[in-house]
Amino acid sequence: MSNRMVFVRKAEQSDFPRIIEIIQTSASKEELKGFVPSRALERRVSGTSNFLEELRKDLQRNEHGVIVAEKERDLLGFAYCHYERDCIEIDEIDVRKECQQQGIGRTLVQYVERIARERGVKLLKTGTSIDEEGEPWKAYGFWIHMGFIDAGKRTEINGLKYVELVKSL
């Protein structure tokens, strides 16, 4: 699939069920084991219920922080960001399993970078989880490829460890 035909737009409230479907099917239970809370793994949702509620509310408020990538009205992936005065934090990027490694994630990140530059923001932040052995989630390599660097900061939230990644624009 060529990402030239992919259109990125602000998400709408009606996209929420399809976004949840992408979250639920973008990785197998085996891939997620050790990287997401066990209760989320049981429900096949990578985010916590708080995350999903926050996402739903942002969609209701018509926030620009949720964007989707689609081709011929078929939702392929999404990004969820928080805009701050001096940085944009990318909380989540998820792409349908069958569309991964086809440039969809890159297209979403480039869109966020363009918005950041338009707003005069010079720093992007994101993170990815680390399993019990200290190995980062598969997205770590994606972020490095996109020009992010490991900030050396490790945090723990709800029993899960995360590594922070940053990119200066």
The distance from CA 16 to its chain's CA centroid, rounded to whole angstroms, is 14
Q: Kindly report the CATH number assigned to the domain that includes residue 22.
A: 3.40.630.30
Q: Which domain holds residue 132?
A: 3-168
**pLDDT tens-place values along the chain, 169 residues long:** 445 689 999 998 899 899 989 988 898 888 887 777 665 555 444 455 566 677 767 666 655 589 999 999 899 999 999 888 899 999 999 999 999 999 999 999 999 999 999 999 999 999 998 988 888 989 999 999 999 999 999 988 777 789 999 999 9
End-to-end CA distance of the chain: 28
Q: How many domains does the chain have?
A: 1
Look up tokens 């707003």; give the residue. Answer: 119
The residues, any chain, with a CB within 8 Å of residue 72's CB and separated by 6 or more, are 5
